[in-house]
Structure 1
Amino acid sequence: MDQTELRKVVHLLPATAHVEELIAADPGSSVALATSLALNATTESPKTKRIAVDVACDDCRRRKAKCDSVRPICGHCLKRKAKCIYRANRTSDTPADLKRKHNHLELENADYRELFILLRDKPALEADDVLRRVRGSHFPLRVFQAFKQGEVLIPNPGSNERSGNAQLSRLDLSSLYISAIKVHARPWTTVIDDGLLSELITNLFIWDSVYCFPCLDRVAFVEDMAAGDVQKAKWCSPLLVNAICALRCQFSERAKLFAARTQQDLAERFLEESKGLLTRENGRPSIPTVQALVFMYLATAVAGKDRAARVYRFTAFTILRRLRLEERFNSLGDENPEDSKERRVISCVLWGLFAMETRVALWYSQPSIMPPPRIPKLVEGYKTVKVERMCNVNVLGQPFKPSNGQIPLVQGTGFLSCVVAELWNELMHHINSSDTIRGSDADIRARRMFYIRLRQFREGLPPRFLYEENFIPLTCFLRMHENEVIYTVLQHLPLNAVFDTPYNPPGTTVKDILLQTCEEDTTMAERYLRKWPFGAWVTRVIALTMLNLIPILDDPATHDLFTRDCKLSLLSTRATKLAGLLLQAALALAWAMKKPIPEAARPYVEDWGPEAVEKDLPIAFSIPQLEEIKDMLASDPDVDATGVENQLAFLIEKWAAM
């Protein structure tokens, strides 16, 4: 077919089956080509009518493109990233132009007014998110318009990148999938998304909140989180959530993977967010603020910087006194469900904070700065703690099923942790009393009674709380806590002093009990780590075991045990920075006491020698008050040998400079 015939082929109606067969039979023919072009033309959607504009920009004029005349930059220039310039013209001052400009300015003014009202009335966290997005855009009103239309969920800086990153999205989804407690990140935090936050909160109540840090009532806290209303929440706040995450992310493998892929220090990000939120609290007292301050202290201490963080600890208990929670507890009754819930939360807060503070106080060799509460212990499991037979539960309080990958918990350990904390605190008051002559017969008799009381407590526990009968994380934590009391009982006593009790053979010495307790802790930690990951409590018990073994390292019977602890300690340094500092503290203490490190243990500690010590260590922990250490401390005018300030840092730095 020639070109004249081709021009005569005009397709006026939809193609028939005959025409489609013709095209299929010879797709290269000119008839098929013309017909397919006509088909495409008839099936195209009708073009929208172009809106006429008064003036085009210079670039669109030059390219003869259709300009949409949007100021300050048109659509074509925006796509091409070209400079958009409009020439002044003689029609710019016509009445129509002036009216159009007036209307445009009216709308723009109204939008700015709405934006200011939004920033004024929204919660601080959401207003900050809007402001950050506005500051990061060349067209702030476009951000505002998108927000009004629901196109933007006001993510924090970097969340767009997270949503567009397939690896981070998969990581977040996997975290959400494994989490028994599923919560929304907004409005509580903008640092991470729903999945990772759900994992951190779930792990808090599995590993920490039940025993290690039992100051949160899970039901009340999660109810407030799920409601998502910052203004109405009583037991949760953005400050508290970010502070919790600052601690928990240091023990989460997925959080560390997230931090590596986003190239940020996640714990530091959460702490910075917490500091900003704390500033906006303006000293307003509330239960979540007290809890958040304690978690901020713990998060900073785990990072090896407790010296600067002590202000959070002291501020927390100052605010706590202002709240007068014991008076509030006594004013509430059990008849009203809301009052009963508040009584439970207050008891959990006070007793939980007391238990947490006793664990912190151990590192400063002093009793808790918070006295034991004078209200009942209405904490986790208080109603069933005496029940002989009960099954393990999951984090939601449901019967535990081994097949679904859950971590077993036992109800009542929160209550028991408070009982052990009371006993330890009473013991510390005895040791630090001006009436106590350490190592005297009267002192040994008093300590023997504390030891007997602890063993009676253990003897009276139902089997489900004994790790020998029910080997789960919480029963291990309970026994490790009991053994901390034993270490404290034996502190400062002569190693060869006889320590006879109904629970030991006649002639048992302080050294015998010390070695037996260290062996139990080490064996328990090894067995624990075959099943579960490092956490705050296991890292702590490994360090305490090493510190208590050092005074008896000249006994060959301790060498294998100390070597096993060095191996565990090396592994724990991968979990937190504090673990590395505590390992160096043990080595420095051995040097100060002239106790050689066993040959078999040296490969595990060689990378943590004096050359690895940082300058000006930001830790204020104390060390055992041994006479050898007192003499060394007294030799330096910058250190108070009678006090506990900065002793650990001083000893490590002295060892590093040898």
Structure 2
Amino acid sequence: QCSGRPVPCKACRNTDAECVFDETLDLRRKVAARRTLGELEYYRGLLHSLLKMLRSSDNDKMHRILDIIRQSVPLNTIASAVDAPAIDIGDAGPDNLGSGSAGNMDDAIAQHERLCADSHSRITVEKLCDIPLLQVSARPWTTVTDDNHLVSHLVSLYFTWDHPLSQIMDQGIFLHHMASEDIQSECCNPLLVNSILALACTYSDFPEVFAVPGEMTSWGQQFFTEAERLWSAEEGQNSLANIQALAVISFVLKLQGKDNLCWLTFRQAVQLARDRGLFHGPGSKHRNWRQMSDDALQAGTATAWGLFAINTQLSMELSNVADLPLPRIRLYPTSHPDKNVLWTPYPRSNHIDYERKPSLLHYTMIGMADLSAINVQIQDLLFEKAFDLSLEEMWETAEALYTRLGMWSRGLPSVLSPDEPQIPQVLFLHIRCRHMTILLFEFMSNEMVLRRESHRPQFEQAQSIQVQAAREIADFLRIHRESYSLRQIPRQFLDPTNSSAISLLADLDVDKSKEAFVELCRFLVAFSKRYLPAKAMLKNIESIAQRKNVSFPSDALVVMDHRELESSQWL
């Protein structure tokens, strides 16, 4: 092998061979590096153009391209057919490359390195290989981007990891109206779409979703700013899409750590829904639902019950009074059309073969509605009745509610059983039930301390119930991690994870609690990569442990150390 100029080189003299040196094959040299970089850019551009063509709806062009590929034609012919840049990489030979100055070559290589370093503008391998589950258009819904693939990616993420756990709209109806591209639609408007895109960014690793390159907590800010502008332009207009959009905006605000603004925004959605007649009670208009279109009735039903469930959840987490009566419209039966919607863990499903499972949206909605009704009674005890009851009366009421939670869990249909690897929305049903248990008996424990009654046997019982519920939540989270990894975790898992970790701090001398605590720490650290509240939660847990002189398990300390690592180095 030639070792380079001057000719003949030492290697060729030793072997008595003809010395023909090609600088472009020596990867130690800048000439070769430039040629290699140019080839990689060429092939990457061609691959991107091919994938863009395959994703398009132009079947005639797709078949024409496939015919050309089958003819074993040169790559430039294929590139021309798919409108990709057609360059002759053969021209980048040693003579042509050598004709420029060394300074020019240095500039070219430095420029390429700068482009590669700019993750905000490059095409990632993940994006090149990504095939969204749902294909939708960016226009006319958003002015932030005209990238149909990015919008399809985000909408697919939302309906995979977020919507099934907090259903405030009917998935099929929303997608149908979005496909119509009618911005005056009752069930889809630009405000709602930009709100969804902002929230969905939290589940994406695409560089485009970050307003500040490299700043993981800047996810979705472009779409969120657009949603805020659109809501201001609406001037309080009451529509189903606006109600849904405000709910989604409140979710984003909560992940930004703005709890008060989250609650105020969500209650705006609730008030608009009450004005629209979706709920019983004074000040709520009565509408003749029989005269409404099937889409409006079905979408209104999903929105009303979704708001009802989320209202009880948010009010419990933020220690606010729920103050929302039952929806006027009866919840749809299990024969609802959503039973045909399938679920797969996108985008992980792009790389690993997963069997598509029924989404069980109708089952989880009914289960969540029943659970929310119990939650209303728990809040009634915690925020209203507790101040007028003796400790014995409070405990008796709490035990009755705990019994109801157990009956709810045992009464679920077999498809919602947690005994086998389950889809996230089913896991969340069980997680939320245990979270409500923790909050109920955490309140009881605190009341006993305040009333100087912590010596009672009920105090230890309340502590034990919390620990058991926290361990079970950790088990459900482990199922999620082993099934779907930590890259996409529903945001709804965050508060239950935090409450569970705090509940276990007093029981870390027990092996089962140690293992559960480590699992919970994994999720909190993963959340902290994107969510500011998760960072604060971890600091709070460390502060509580320090105050109570509690030592973390060694495995938990190792997990906590990963907070300083990039997500790609750990997840």
Counterpart position of 1:478: 429
Deviation at 1:171, TM superposition (A): 6.1
Deviation at 1:321, TM superposition (A): 2.9
Letter in 2 for 1:461: L
The answer on 1:251 being equivalent to 2:174 is no
Deviation at 1:208, TM superposition (A): 1.7
The answer on 1:447 being equivalent to 2:398 is yes
Deviation at 1:394, TM superposition (A): 3.1
The answer on 1:227 being equivalent to 2:180 is yes
- Distance in 2, matches of 1:454 and 1:355, equals 15
- Distance in 2, matches of 1:557 and 1:404, equals 31
Letter in 2 for 1:197: V
Deviation at 1:303, TM superposition (A): 2.1
Alignment root-mean-square deviation, CA: 3.6
The answer on 1:331 being equivalent to 2:284 is no
- Distance in 1, matches of 2:238 and 2:209, equals 36
Aligned residues: 422
Q: Is the 8 A contact 1:498 1:508 kept in 2?
A: yes
Letter in 2 for 1:447: A
In the alignment, structure 1 segments of 5+ residues that lack a partner are: 1-160, 500-506, 610-658
The answer on 1:199 being equivalent to 2:153 is yes
Q: Is the 8 A contact 1:249 1:255 kept in 2?
A: no
Letter in 1 for 2:227: S
TM-score by length of 2: 0.66
State the SS of the aligned residue for 2:143.
coil
Counterpart position of 2:479: 527
The answer on 1:350 being equivalent to 2:299 is no
- Distance in 2, matches of 1:221 and 1:513, equals 41
Say if 1:255 and 1:328 are closer, same or farther in 2 by CA, change over 3 A.
farther
Larger Rg: 1
> CA-to-partner distance for each residue in 1:315-346, whole Å, 9 max, x for gaps?
3233333322347775122xx7x633322211
- Distance in 1, matches of 2:341 and 2:272, equals 37
Counterpart position of 1:544: 499
State the SS of the aligned residue for 2:293.
helix
Letter in 2 for 1:321: R
Counterpart position of 1:305: 258
Structure holding more helix per residue = 2
TM-score by length of 1: 0.57
> CA-to-partner distance for each residue in 1:69-115, whole Å, 9 max, x for gaps?
xxxxxxxxxxxxxxxxxxxxxxxxxxxxxxxxxxxxxxxxxxxxxxx
The answer on 1:341 being equivalent to 2:295 is yes
Counterpart position of 1:393: 342
Which structure 2 residues correspond to residues 170-569 of structure 1 after superposition, within 5 A? 174-175=129-130, 177=131, 179-192=132-145, 193-211=147-165, 213-231=166-184, 233-254=185-206, 265-326=218-279, 330-333=287-290, 339-378=293-332, 382-383=334-335, 393-394=342-343, 403=353, 406=356, 409-411=359-361, 412-434=363-385, 436=387, 440-469=391-420, 471-494=422-445, 509-532=461-484, 533-552=488-507, 558-569=513-524
Letter in 1 for 2:401: F
- Distance in 2, matches of 1:446 and 1:241, equals 44
Q: Which protein has greater RCO, CA pairs closer than 8 Å, 6+ apart?
A: 2
Deviation at 1:363, TM superposition (A): 2.1
- Distance in 2, matches of 1:414 and 1:573, equals 29
Say if 1:574 and 1:408 are closer, same or farther in 2 by CA, change over 3 A.
farther
> CA-to-partner distance for each residue in 1:349-402, whole Å, 9 max, x for gaps?
111011112221122123324333243113xx64379xxxx9993379xxx9x9
State the SS of the aligned residue for 2:272.
helix
- Distance in 1, matches of 2:336 and 2:439, equals 30
- Distance in 2, matches of 1:469 and 1:322, equals 43
Picking from 521, 532, 535, the partner of 1:577 is 532
> CA-to-partner distance for each residue in 1:586-605, whole Å, 9 max, x for gaps?
2233445x242325234444
> CA-to-partner distance for each residue in 1:516-559, whole Å, 9 max, x for gaps?
22111112212311222322133333212112223555778744
- Larger CA deviation: 520-529 vs 246-255: 246-255
Say if 1:359 and 1:422 are closer, same or farther in 2 by CA, change over 3 A.
same
Q: Is the 8 A contact 1:200 1:248 kept in 2?
A: yes
- Distance in 1, matches of 2:357 and 2:533, equals 26
- Distance in 2, matches of 1:279 and 1:492, equals 39
Say if 1:322 and 1:173 are closer, same or farther in 2 by CA, change over 3 A.
farther
